[in-house]
Amino acid sequence: SYTTDTKSREENKKTIESLYSLSVDITKIRRLKEWVLLQDVTYAKEIAAILQEMGADATTVANIIERCPEAILHTPAEINSQRALWQLVCQNEKQLIKLIEQFPESFFTTGYHENQKANILFFQELGLKNNIITRFLTSAPNIFCNPVEKNKNVIETLQRNYLNLGGSEANMKIWILKLLSQNPFILLNTCSAIQENLEFLQKSDFTDQEVLQLLSKLKGFIFQLNSTTMQKSMLFSKNVFKCSDQELKQLVLKCPALLYYSVPVLEERLEGLLKEGISVAQIRETPMVLELTTQIVQYRIKKLSSLGYDIKSGNLESLNGTKKDFEVSYGKIQSKKERPIFNPVAPLHIED
């Protein structure tokens, strides 16, 4: 309940003095979140003392406050509670300070304290390692705001569906933990949305085994979609590639991005490839190329062209994959090109 009405209010002199004494760049705060400086009650010195107690030096403290000025609006009691909470998953205070410096907004989100604690304990019981839970705390703090029952229900829905689709009881725990660590945002979905999406795939004639395959390939992102967008994307691909339902299904299994990306995204990427002289037939042969943005495709084509590799007549496989995959392909083409045509160690026949 902090006021953001900045017109009629003046900066809190005591806050300004405290921040100066901590070597905080106040102009940064004025530029980004001036409203913090207008609050009647702040705890700059107290919060700095807690951070220093954890091992932060003066520069680190100033850096944290500059990046997240709201930190000074929390009471020392709130911050100490948050500290105790994060210590449940941090190896030591050195690691904790490092995390606070990198992700101050996540640490200083002190609401939902009971939910946060209950969820941390639930994730530990589930078998998630502490380093994964700290990654969730920093990159997906929203999932800790959910009541623990909501997160439990989503996990139970996933487990139930995994078994219904033919997954084994023995592999279920590994599957769930892998899915969660790849995409914790699954937990922000409702159980009914998860159910609807799985039913859509089954109605689209994917077998149970294929649905399981898609879930693993899509790293759970399928639950952030809805049946309408998936249907539109599939119809778009069917029209572009002029294929039957069965052929479309095989294309989607080969490249789940055809299901995941919206029609405007697929259109833009397809257009970018066609502009480079690549044919629809080539794309149909290697649909995974649609997982790459137009900029990445252009960059890779340019690099390959510099080696004299003609992508229009060649295979699109060399464009595919992660940055690392591409560098490996590029390296192979480069070394092939640079290889001498004669054998440098063969004896030379010189006439007398």
DSSP structure class, residue 347: P
Q: Where are the alpha helices (DSSP H) in 87-226?
A: 93-102, 104-107, 113-126, 130-139, 148-164, 169-182, 191-203, 208-217
Give the DSSP H or E segment for 78. helix 76-86
DSSP one-letter string for 30-62: HHHHGGGGG-S---HHHHHHHHHHTT--HHHHH
Domains belonging to the chain, first-starting first, are 11-110 (1.25.70.10)
Report residue 257 CA to chain centroid gap: 16
Q: What is the full per-residue pLDDT of the chain (352 aa) written as tens digits?
A: 455 554 457 899 999 999 999 999 999 999 989 999 999 999 999 999 999 999 999 999 999 999 999 999 999 999 999 999 999 999 899 999 999 999 999 999 877 889 999 999 999 999 999 999 999 999 888 899 999 999 999 999 999 999 999 999 999 999 999 989 988 998 988 889 888 988 999 998 899 999 988 888 877 777 778 889 999 999 999 999 999 999 999 999 999 889 889 999 999 999 999 998 888 998 999 899 999 899 998 998 888 888 888 887 777 888 888 888 888 888 888 887 766 555 555 554 544 3
Per the listing, tokens 């084994």 go with 168
Q: 46: which 2 tokens? A: 């107290």
Please name the helix (run of DSSP H) or strand (run of DSSP E) that holds residue 332, with its range, or none: helix 323-338
